[in-house]
Structure 1
Amino acid sequence: MSFEIKSSMDTYDVIIVGSGAGGGMASKILSESGLSVAVVEAGSDFDPAMEEYRTQLRFPWESPRRGANTVRAFGDFDAAYGGWEIDGEPYTRKDGTEFDWFRSRMVGGRTNHWGRISLRFGPDDFKRRSIDGLGDDWPIGYEDVKPFYDRVDKIVGVFGSKEGMRNEPDGNFLPPPKPRLHEAAFTKAGKKINLPVIPSRVSVLTRPVNNERGACFFCAQCNRGCQVYGDFSAGTVLVKPAIKKGNVDLYTYAMVRKVTTNDKGDATGVSYVSKVDMKEYKLKARVVVLGASAGETARIMMNSASTQHPNGLSNSSGTLGRYLHDSTGASRSALMTDFIARDKYNEDGVGSLHVYTPWWLDNKKLDFPRGYHLEFGGGMRQPNYGFGFGMESMRKYMQDEFGKPRPNGGYGAGLKKDIRNIYGATVGIAGRGESVPQYDNYCEIDPTVVDKYGIPVLRFNYNWTDYEVKQAKHMQETFEEMFDSMGATVMGKKPGADTKYGLEAPGRIIHEVGTTRMGNDPKTSVLNKYSQAHECDNLFVVDAGPFVSQADKNPTWTILALSIRTSEYIVDQLKKKNIG
């Protein structure tokens, strides 16, 4: 483990905590304005083009632990340093409730291993209370964010197709890749049941956009980190280029304890613990920007309590940590009998789905609010360790369903034949939906537990409501309708009420938002519409904490757009000498 402070400076114009989507974009915008910037990251450096980090295009047998997830959350070859459980960095849960908190500990954060599904929020997504009476409207609307979405499209690159769907806004798209065989089957089946299946919107370059990044070469291994930077990761596309241009110093293995403040309650910098020598250090700045993730940012602000901020930074409203919510998620698999023993050929494509289904129904006709989108899986990517395990249950399933006995047992030529026959014949659908924010879903500081750095940890309290359970039930019905339309046989028992219809535990989709939500009223919100703290005007938040609601879309594109908006507001306020 290496640790290097890139500068002897201890005072900057801006300190940014976190190097993911929000922090990464802030580092680009703020440094290009001429400000001196320190990016403080709790994890290690990471560059997938460097041999010491490279896992792309390596064979399964090169995996030191045969693909196990004992070191990395999704296996040896995934670009995810961190996970739901990190040694020495615990979190707790209150009153038997569920919440699984994913932390990334690397430059670029979660943008190194995400699905890169890059969806804009639509006009309705900012004004849900006005539509269904639940939750709250954002203090901003789509038209406020649209110019920044447009700029993210150009800075990062996203493929897709213009569909003219009002609440699924079109962007400045690169050409989308063609559907693979399983995706063509989903598209055809969707037409039969009036369910739209359209090209995905994914931040992968299907053609070059500048001389510093190559186009995708369709290895389907974006989750490993791209050597040619053909996919979007904040470290390779935003942070590292900003460092090369100057004005940015990177501090790694730096676990932020708190934002320091003066006797007026203004932010003066941060205090962090070095993970290398376990000593505490301080950095000073005119402005502090938190982009550590919705949970980690809330934790830092709560741990920054002082005489001027007795309940945590900008928390006189008592809403810091409140309204935490994650995307809903449920899934189902099926067997395409027409695909059994299909020809084998390279069908990799991009490392994400080529087609998807946006929300297509009217909630006024349903028994739950908000919506969800569908993500489709299948095909013949390069097998990893673990592929083919569970073939005994597959044999029994095929015998029960199709009368095809498999007498060879779980070894030898018979096992190899069965694996080859089934390879490429299984398909899956996952639903990802919007939950309704609840005041009583929150994180707080555990009064008795600290991590190995002596920093008090978060305690979560979270329960799904009937809204989310009913949505998951509807997902399962949609999955079965789609599988039936495409002639696939659903595998396994249909999840019922006892399992909340297969609804994943909160936190498992890794889309948590809220905790530092924005609003016009300081009595009910932590930040204003520019993500500036109501009670500490030189403190800003650029992760998903400011979100008032989630939408049925992945949050990253909105994090990036709002980070540009907030960063340019910071520059403007510094020029006007309103802050710093």
Structure 2
Amino acid sequence: MPDNHYDAIVVGSGISGGWAAKELTEKGLKVLLLERGRNIEHVKDYHNAHKEAWDYPHRNEPTQEMIAKHPVLRRDYPLNEATMGMWADEQANPYVEEKRFDWFRGYHVGGRSLLWGRQSYRLSPMDFEANQREGIAIDWPIRYEDIAPWYDYVERFAGIAGTQEGLDILPDGEFLPPIPLNCVEKDAAKRIKAAFGGQRHLIHSRVANITQPKPEQNRVNCQYRNKCWLGCPYGAYFSTQSATLPAAVATGNLTLRPFSIVSQVLYDKDRQRARGVEVIDAETHEVHEYTADVIFLNASTFNTTWILMNSATDVWEGGLGSSSGELGHNVMDHHFRCGASGEVEGYLDKYYFGRRPAGFYIPRFRNVGDEQRNYVRGFGYQGAASREGWDREIAELNIGTDLKQALSQPGGWTIGMTGFGEMLPDHDNRISLDHSVRDKWGLPVLSIDVELKQNERDMRRDMVQDAVDLLEAAGVKNVTGDVGDYAPGMGIHEMGTARMGRDPKTSVLNSHNQVWDAPNVFVTDGACMTSSSCVNPSLTYMALTARAVDYAVEELKWGNLS
């Protein structure tokens, strides 16, 4: 057997790619894990994990040079000194915006599993049924019951802190003890429940931060530092580096190759199977081929689809998986940046411990049951209450000893929340290859043509007004509705473009995440999503990946993928 052959190849080492590598190696397969960016080793390479704002030359603010070099990153929080170099450089990795799309990528081992917000919720039975019920796009080929055992499985390993709530719209899971609500949030929860007859709920965030040690994974419980995006040296939050990669390495079956840009899947049209991948060395630009019996594409939604579009173009003009005409279409994100905030009177004798990496969550309540708004689907809220700190403005005390004394004490309480709304799949929201623009390696780039449609615009009005109503019901004062700058992509939850379905004429993947046109190619990152729900999607990627690997290995045993 040549040195470049493996039982399985996994492309991408982020949340879903890490899971694919773990599951495949633990089932005895020899696996090559390919990552287009640099390696980041757990703990050793978390260079900023213990720094505070004053430890950076510019107090963790972007410089004018950074702003000039990174016109996309500058649009939101990713551009700062602490995470500089963690987000993909748009100079080396450009893309074309037919309409504004803020694409924030993580090109390194671990991908955005090192940078994610860790909010971890299950899709509900309603989410898997909504497309069919409402006649939108196509039906999911699976139901909640198909994925529920896999949610259990990945939650137990990853470690999700949360509470059992018994809500149909937000299924419970296998939880560790929650990160507690503070005193203001607890009282707000009681008042909201009473004001809305138990139909609206403020609950603990469900986050992938362990609250009890996992010694079998060498992970220590959360230290309440709230520096997760800098890499956690305690392994307290779930990432490829802290959890799935060590498990895969422990098997002795993994080969990790960073700086490896997959340019295409190599397709054997006689066998109607993929035989491997072509790789460009990101440092030397040398081209290599690696072969395998099964391939998992987990390069993140758009990059996975880019690979498919750039593959087997001698067979399908639109690339591998394009026979349905849906490859690249149905882009979704979660639209947000609208909610409310206000001031909370009292509680001045109360404080809280540490810097929580979580807050509260208000599950979807719109278009549930018999209610029907002037839009379909709904939204949830993420938020928190806290006391103002030393950086608050004190207009009447602006200099000298009095100012120093005032700033040594915490200020009043505030509370705020932002809605995350579901974006419907729409064929017109699409990505495509633009061969007139090339990246650093001479490869064509993606052109992105995505916008919010009327359903999302109508929903956003409720997202603001309902937030105001909720906070006022909780007794919050001086409540103001907030509408911030939002463009698709800012949610960093890009989904769709290679959707699952029941029919190869209308979908790219089947119910087991196999590409219809090449059954030994699996896609289990965000590209596979048939609809988006309104909850954070990463937990679903994990569950779908574990489920697909289990199926793929059985199919390999029976010789159905060769």
TM-score, length basis structure 2: 0.90
How far 1:339 sits from its partner (Å)? 6.1
CA deviations 1:512-555 (Å, max 9, x no partner) are 11000011211111111111011111111110111100111111
- Indicate the residue corresponding to 2:108 in structure 1: 106
Residue 399 of structure 1 is matched in structure 2 by none
8 A contact 1:80–1:112 mirrored in 2? no
Match of 2:508 in 1: 526
In 2, the alpha carbon distance for the partners of 1:412 and 1:253 equals 53
Structure 2 equivalent of residue 179 of structure 1: 181
**Aligned with residue 461 of structure 1, among 449, 453, 463:** 449
Match of 2:206 in 1: 201
- C-alpha contact (below 8 Å) 2:341/2:471 kept by paired residues: yes
Verify: 1:235 aligned to 2:241, yes or no: yes
State the SS of the aligned residue for 1:134: coil
Secondary structure of the 2:336 match is strand
**How far apart are the structure 2 equivalents of 1:180 and 1:157?**
22
Report the AA paired with residue 279 of structure 2: Y
Find 1:24's aligned residue among 18, 36, 42.
18
Output the CA distance in 1 between the equivalents of 2:173 and 2:4: 41
Give 2:338's aligned residue.
331
Asked if residue 509 in structure 1 is aligned to residue 491 in structure 2, the reply is yes
Q: Which runs of 5+ in 1 are unaligned?
A: 1-7, 396-405, 496-500
Give the match for residue 433 of structure 2: 445
CA distance, structure 1, for counterparts of residue 518 and residue 542 of structure 2: 23
Change (3 A) 1:519 1:332: closer
Q: Give the whole-Å Cα distance in 2 for the aligned partners of 1:540 and 1:424.
A: 52
Note if contact 1:333-1:490 (Cα within 8 Å) is conserved in structure 2. Answer: no
What's the % identity of the aligned pairs? 32
Residue 156 of structure 2 contacts residue 174 of structure 2 at CA under 8 Å; is this kept in 1? yes
Deviations 1:388-407 (A, max 9, x none): 5xx4xxx6xxxxxxxxxx35
- Structure 2 distance, partners of 1:437, 1:91, is 22
| Secondary structure of the structure 2 residue equivalent to 1:256 | strand
Which of 50, 54, 58 lines up with 1:61 in the alignment?
A: 54
Alignment correspondent of 2:95: 91
Instruction: Determine whether 1:428 maps to 2:412.
Output: no
1:5-24 matched pairs, under 5 angstroms: 9-24=3-18
Q: 2:467 corresponds to which letter in structure 1?
A: F
Secondary structure of residue in 1 paired with 2:322: coil
Paired residues of 1:330 and 1:472 also in contact (CA < 8 A) = no
Report the alpha carbon displacement of residue 154 of structure 1 after superposing the two structures with TM. Answer: 1.2
Does the CA contact (< 8 Å) of 2:188 and 2:475 recur in 1? no
Q: Given the superposition, is the C-alpha separation of residues 538 and 246 from structure 1 closer, same or farther in structure 2, using an over 3 Å criterion? A: same
Are the aligned partners of 2:17 and 2:299 in contact in 1 as well (CA < 8 Å)? yes
TM-score, L = length of structure 1:
0.87
Letter in 2 for 1:449: V
Structure 1 residue matching 2:419: 3-state secondary structure: strand
Q: 1:262 aligns with which of 262, 268, 271?
A: 268
Q: Partners of 1:256 and 1:423 in 2: how far apart?
A: 52
Provide the residue aligned with 1:400 in structure 2: none
Deviation at 1:98, TM superposition (A): 2.4
Which moves more between the two structures, 247-256 or 257-266? 257-266
Aligned equivalents of 2:203 and 2:157: distance in 1?
24
- For residues 68-467 of structure 1, what are the structure 2 equivalents within 5 Å? 68-69=61-62, 70=66, 73-78=78-83, 81-83=86-88, 86-94=90-98, 97-194=99-196, 195-211=200-216, 212-264=218-270, 265-332=272-339, 334-336=341-343, 338=345, 342=348, 347-353=353-359, 355-362=360-367, 364-379=371-386, 387-388=391-392, 391=393, 406-407=395-396, 423=411, 425-467=413-455
Q: Secondary structure at the match of 1:538?
A: strand
Query: Number of matched residues?
Result: 542
2:339–2:419 Cα contact (<8 Å) kept = no
Seen in structure 2, the aligned counterparts of structure 1 residues 504 and 277 have a Cα distance that, compared at 3 Å, is same
RMSD: 2.5
SS at match of 1:82: coil
| Residue identity opposite 2:522 in structure 1 | F
Q: 1:164 to 1:346 in 2, by over 3 A?
A: closer
Letter aligned with residue 481 of structure 1: D
Worse-matched range after superposition: 121-130 or 480-489? 480-489
Aligned twin of 2:521? 539
Cα distance in 1 for partners of 2:57, 2:531 equals 41
Letter in 2 for 1:541: V
The 1:577/1:423 distance shift into structure 2, 3 A limit, reads farther
The alpha-carbon distance between structure 1 residues 90 and 483, as it changes in their structure 2 partners (threshold 3 A), is same
User: Matches of 1:408 and 1:382 in 2, distance apart?
Assistant: 15
**1:426-448 CA distances to partner (integer Å, 9 max, x unpaired)?**
33211112111100001000131
SS at match of 1:469: helix
Distance change (3 Å), C-alpha of 1:179 and 1:319? same
Quote the Cα distance in structure 1 between the aligned partners of 2:250 and 2:346: 49
CA distance in 1, matches of 2:560, 2:388: 54
Counterparts in 2 of 1:202 and 1:79: CA distance versus 1, 3 Å: farther
Deviation at 1:349, TM superposition (A): 4.7
Name the amino acid aligned to 1:10: N
